[in-house]
Amino acid sequence: MAILVDTGTRLVVQGLTGSEGRFHGLRNRSHGTQVVAGVTPGKGGQDVEGIPVFDSVAGAVAETGANTAMIFVPAPFAADAMYEAIDAGIGTIVCITEGVPAHEMLRIHAFLRGRGVTLIGPNCPGALSPGRANVGIIPAEIFREGSVGLVSRSGTLTYQIGHELTQLGLGNSTIVGIGGDPVVGSSFVDVLARFEADPQTEQVVMVGEIGGDEEEKAAAFIESEMTKPVVAYIAGFTAPPGKTMGHAGAIISGSEGTAQAKKDALEARGIRVGTTPTETAELVLQLVSA
């Protein structure tokens, strides 16, 4: 099994006719994802290398049975794209778009409540279940199928640690990039709960970074709710207070949100924290070999 995306994923790409949507939509298809439709208002009836384009997500769902949406829509229109996918009955939405205003995401959070929809992102690399489906911009070539679940706020660190795991002969059940904005659709806890319930996942790597308190919340959840071992890595030990580093959500406020504070919170609950991506992968190997 896997979480979020698998062989049953039927993907509609919102913004398929744009350069980024086209490139990554076709790339996802080349890795085995069922890309069944694209959506660009006013371009219904066209196609992108055999993928039909519709004017609306509702039309795409009705014609193709799409159940997952990937959003490559410019930031000023990304929130509307998310609402449209939700209203059309899409169950899993992956928003790649960067720069979606935080106040728009707060409204979407409220709108999602009780609807049974999973939103990953915005400003995220997406989700990949090696050998099954890739929805987003994660380079599937550097990953292999296995038992390690990987959840991260950072896209590039996701790729780096995934590569380190592959070099050690380890594979992944699913890789999930939740995004680095202050307000995102799914938290560490949301994804960790899915990994805990997934039979294929036997170990989990969590990649955090400075800013906010999501890692501290995850530490408490891991201690109280998870039976599977978790290894963590926190980026940003040298980041100065008050300065955004990399992501909109990666900013330290006073003594809160520092890499050291997050590392301490995790280790206090018995969660091993690697000091480098390489060491983090080696800690996972120790778990697998034990």
Active site residues: 247
What are the tokens at 171?
Answer: 């594979």
Cα–Cα distance, 221 to 202 (Å, whole number): 17
Residue 121 contacts residue 85 (beta carbons within 8 Å): no
The one-letter code for the residue type at 3 is I
Cα–Cα distance, 218 to 271 (Å, whole number): 11
Backbone angles phi, psi at 3, to 5 degrees: -115, 150
What are the tokens at 200?
Answer: 């294929």
Which residue do the tokens 């301490």 mark?
264
Q: How far is CA 219 from CA 71, 119, 186, 224, 264, in A?
A: 30, 22, 16, 9, 10
Question: How many Cα neighbours within 13 Å face the side chain of 208?
Answer: 34
Give the containing element (helix H, strand E) for 120.
strand 118-120
Residue 160 contacts residue 140 (beta carbons within 8 Å): no
Residue 99 contacts residue 71 (beta carbons within 8 Å): no
